[in-house]
């Protein structure tokens, strides 16, 4: 390893949250995501969604945890519609596409980039053979509305992590290597031990008969293996685990719906992984007594409750004194099985200082909880100083972004509104202003001609 274990203590965790975009809507596009499908066609509130997300960022920052902001993507994606043969002015392109297919307009208007746990996979420089922090944008190739995110994500990452002496930003993997980002990756670290990277996958990308019966498995094993190679991780400290097909079929489309881990704590459902006993034994052999594992059985915490409450999509955040706080959605507090499980875990682990329940109703109704909204970056002080753009959260930036949201976002958005060229113009105007606030430059297609 380029950096020794002692040096890892000098790293601070930064949670970069995705800012909800102006076209936040309930399109029901995410096959296998029960909340997304069940709210299809409902009226959304983009303003409330964005303000809920900013309130979460403000809360994390107040804990003393590093907090960053990542921008929404350009939606509707007119460059995608032009690639599909629609031509003319921006307004004409959208009108033609709407006349052709409402479903297509929903696809290119999705605000799913808000869930940046799917945006990329990250390896901190203390874990990599070349001493660089590595980040690979996810191709999200399984679902069309998400597959169009990778190019903008890569642009943003290259702006934020532009210093090649400290950061390595890779291109997304080839499309066949289906990669869903950090939602299928967990970094565990023990006291005085090098970290262990756990990569979860649902299927092979090369001709395997699907094991799921209801919903598709998205992440391929080959993508997970490629990420470990690209990020120059020690193969002896990488663990590959297969998502349990029963978990996927119940609605655990990503691993972070049934498992959450950070530092020396791993919480998971017994149907999170199909090779769970073997994988846990491997993790324990690498991390020893530093690793504490809490498994919820189906009898204690049925899958239906785990997925409805998103208890495992809670966000574990590390505080400066080595303790942790669990940020759970209000739905976990309101579900008796979820609340009892989380309280049991907290009672057994003194390092887990408390559980805080956050209101993220707009995101939750579309299938994304606290952990979906953030991408974790362990960064050294020199790396923080090298970040590009104005993306580190502060109360002043929070005030500015909240005022920006109130100026530009609608408080009601029905599916039919996505056909309105005025919404597209409102969105582009807002995003153009946002790039100036965050000092990102011209990251959007409409800014680049």
pLDDT (tens digit, 9 = 90+) per residue, 168-211? 999 999 999 999 999 999 999 988 889 999 999 999 989 888 89
Residue 375 has pLDDT above 90, yes or no: yes
Residue 318 has pLDDT above 50, yes or no: yes
Three-state SS letters, the chain: CCCCHHHHCCCEEEEEEECCCCCCCCCCCCCCCHHHHHCCCCCECHHHHHHHHHHHHHHHHHCCCEEEEECCCCCCCHHHHHHCCCCCCHHHHHHHHHHHCHHHHHHHHCCHHHCHHHCEEEECHHHECCCCEEEEECCCCCCHHHHCCHHHHHHHHHHHCCCCCCEEECCCCCCCCCCCHHHHEEEECCCCCCCEEEEEECECCCCCCCCCCCCCCCCEHHHHHHHHHHCCECHHHEEEEEECHHHHHHCCCCHHHCEEEEECEEEEECCCECCHHHHHHHHHHHHHHHCEEEEECCCCCCHHHHHHHCHHHCEEEECCCCCEEEEEEHHHHHCHHHHHHHHHHHHHCCCEEEEEEECCHHHHCCCCCCCCCEEEEEECHHHHHCCCCCCECCHHHHHHHHHHHHHHCCCCECHHHHHCHHHHHHHHHHHHHHHHHCCCCCCCHHHCC
Q: What is the pLDDT of residues 9-54, one digit of tens each?
A: 689 999 999 999 999 999 988 788 887 888 888 999 999 999 999 9
Residue 1 has pLDDT above 90, yes or no: no
Calculate mean pLDDT across residues 417-423: 97
Calculate mean pLDDT across residues 415-423: 96
> What is the residue-averaged pLDDT of the chain?
95
294 is annotated as an active-site residue: no
Q: Considering the candidates 142, 180, 222, 270, report the single residue annotated as catalytic.
A: 180
- pLDDT value, residue 9: 62
What is the model's pTM?
0.95
- pLDDT value, residue 2: 46
Of all residues in the chain, the percent with pLDDT exceeding 70 is 98
Calculate mean pLDDT across residues 235-242: 98
73 is annotated as an active-site residue: no
Residue 372 has pLDDT above 70, yes or no: yes
254 is annotated as an active-site residue: yes
Between CA 146 and CA 138 the distance in angstroms is 10
Q: Considering the candidates 61, 231, 254, 408, report the single residue annotated as catalytic.
A: 254
Residue 237 has pLDDT above 60, yes or no: yes
Q: Considering the candidates 185, 372, 383, 408, report the single residue annotated as catalytic.
A: 372
Residue with the bigger pLDDT between 448 and 232: it is 232
Residue 154 has pLDDT above 60, yes or no: yes
Residue 4 has pLDDT above 70, yes or no: no
Q: What is the pLDDT of residues 254-308, one digit of tens each?
A: 999 999 999 999 999 999 999 899 999 999 999 999 999 999 999 999 999 999 9
Q: What is the pLDDT of residues 127-140, one digit of tens each?
A: 999 999 999 999 99
Residue 3 has pLDDT above 50, yes or no: no
């Amino acid at each position: 390893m380029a950096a020794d274990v002692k040096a890892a203590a000098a790293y601070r965790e930064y949670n970069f949250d995705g800012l909800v975009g102006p076209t936040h809507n309930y399109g029901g596009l995410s096959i296998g995501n029960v909340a997304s499908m069940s709210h299809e066609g409902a009226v959304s509130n983009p303003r409330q969604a964005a303000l809920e997300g900013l309130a979460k960022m403000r809360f994390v920052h107040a804990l003393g945890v590093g907090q960053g902001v990542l921008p929404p993507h350009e939606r509707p994606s007119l460059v995608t519609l032009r690639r599909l043969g629609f031509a003319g002015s921006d307004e004409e392109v959208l009108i033609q596409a709407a006349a052709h297919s409402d479903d297509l307009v929903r696809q290119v208007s999705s605000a799913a980039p808000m869930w940046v746990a799917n945006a990329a996979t990250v390896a901190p420089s203390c874990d990599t053979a070349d001493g660089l922090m590595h980040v690979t944008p996810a191709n999200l190739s399984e679902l069309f509305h998400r597959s169009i995110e990778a190019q903008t994500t890569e642009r943003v990452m290259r702006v934020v992590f532009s210093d090649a002496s400290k950061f390595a930003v890779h291109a997304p993997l080839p499309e066949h290597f289906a990669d869903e980002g950090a939602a299928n990756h967990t970094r565990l670290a023990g006291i005085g031990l090098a970290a262990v990277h756990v990569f979860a996958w649902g299927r092979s990308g090369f001709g395997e008969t699907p094991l799921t019966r209801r919903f598709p498995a998205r992440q391929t094993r080959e993508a997970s293996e490629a990420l470990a190679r690209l990020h120059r991780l020690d193969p002896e400290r990488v663990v590959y685990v297969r998502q349990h097909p029963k978990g996927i079929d119940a609605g655990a489309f990503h691993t972070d719906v049934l498992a959450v881990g950070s530092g020396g704590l791993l919480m998971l459902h017994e149907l999170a992984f199909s090779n769970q006993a073997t994988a846990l034994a491997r993790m324990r052999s690498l991390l020893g007594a530093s690793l504490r594992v809490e498994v919820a059985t189906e009898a204690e915490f049925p899958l239906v409750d785990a997925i409805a409450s998103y208890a495992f999509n809670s966000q574990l955040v590390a505080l400066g004194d080595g303790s942790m706080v669990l940020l759970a959605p209000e739905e976990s507090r309101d579900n008796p099985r979820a609340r009892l499980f989380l309280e049991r875990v907290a009672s057994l682990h003194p390092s887990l200082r408390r559980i805080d329940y956050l209101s993220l109703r707009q995101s939750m109704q579309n299938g994304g909880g606290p952990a979906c909204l953030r991408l974790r970056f362990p960064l050294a002080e020199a790396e923080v100083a090298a970040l590009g753009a104005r993306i580190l959260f502060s109360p002043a930036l929070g005030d500015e972004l909240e005022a920006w949201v109130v100026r530009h976002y609608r408080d009601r958005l029905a599916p039919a509104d996505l056909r309105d060229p005025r919404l597209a113009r409102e969105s582009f105007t807002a995003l153009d202003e946002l790039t100036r606030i965050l000092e990102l430059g011209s990251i959007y297609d409409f800014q680049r001609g």
